[in-house]
Amino acid sequence: MEEKEIGPYIVERFLGQGATGKVLLARHKDDQNQKVAIKVIKKISFHDKKNLQAKVQREISLMRLIRHPNIINLIDVLESENNLYIILEYAEQGELFDYLIVNRFLCADVAIEFFRQIIFAIEYLHNHGICHRDLKPENILLDKSMRIKIADFGFARWVKSELLTDPCGSPHYAAPEVLSGKPYDGKAADVWSVGIILFALVAVCTFFFLIYIIFIHFFLFSFWFDCLDFNLIILIHSQIDIISIFLFDFLLMKSC
């Protein structure tokens, strides 16, 4: 049976299904203007999924310490006998991924502003010793003012100087050393992902982005790499660089 109230919040509707549980839209009983997103995690899943409880606890601990205008805010954590509820700031415009799919084109001013906010947030995280490790347009939200909000800290880690060894994130946005299973620098891996996101912002859903993804993941970092002619690799890479430059120049000529 669907819950109608969770603590001081009245549930309005279902928003979506995440990896660890469903997400609900709710309003505060005493302030109808305060909308929140509530991530519902069934406690029984802590027994069914190895390391899930530790992962969720780490995510909550990290988010309690983070306060930044371009990072989704953790408001509260509640629990019942059967469920854990993570109360989050609600980003009304949804995922950046969906925004790119719907619009299919961004003028340079908007793309640059989105990217500026993304790197502003990542710089804040890295300065506080945190690497996100799952940066992608699906984990970047937009609030009602179209302001960037980095979300989903399920794979985030505190790091000092040590290398990480557990592969995580999404293949299309993960750094090659992460995909290869080698020890990697978590912050450097974030920078790679941000670079892929920049290309996505510039190319949006065009053929050029598809070419880039195919090239990165099926040529450079596949097990066929050693068998490919090195000159061919350079030629393909140069062609994509040229296309990317012309595409970026074209977008710079557009204004909002």
Distance CA 248, CA 83 (A): 47
Backbone phi, then psi, for 70, in 5-degree steps?
A: -110, 20
- Whether residue 255 contacts residue 108, with contact meaning beta carbons closer than 8 Å, is answered with yes
Q: If you count them, how many residues does the chain have?
A: 256
The Cα-based distances of 63 to 58, 128, 173 in angstroms read 9, 12, 22
For residue 255, the SS3 value is: coil
Measured CA to CA, the distance from residue 154 to residue 168 in angstroms comes to: 10
43 is in an annotated binding site: yes
Active site residue 229: no
Longest pairwise C-alpha distance within the chain = 67
Among 76, 98, 134, 143, the active-site one is: 134
- Give the three-class secondary structure for 170: coil
Task: Indicate left, alpha or beta for 35 from its phi (over 0: left) and psi (-120 to 50: alpha).
Answer: beta
Binding site for ATP, by residue number, is 43
- Kindly list the catalytic residues: 134
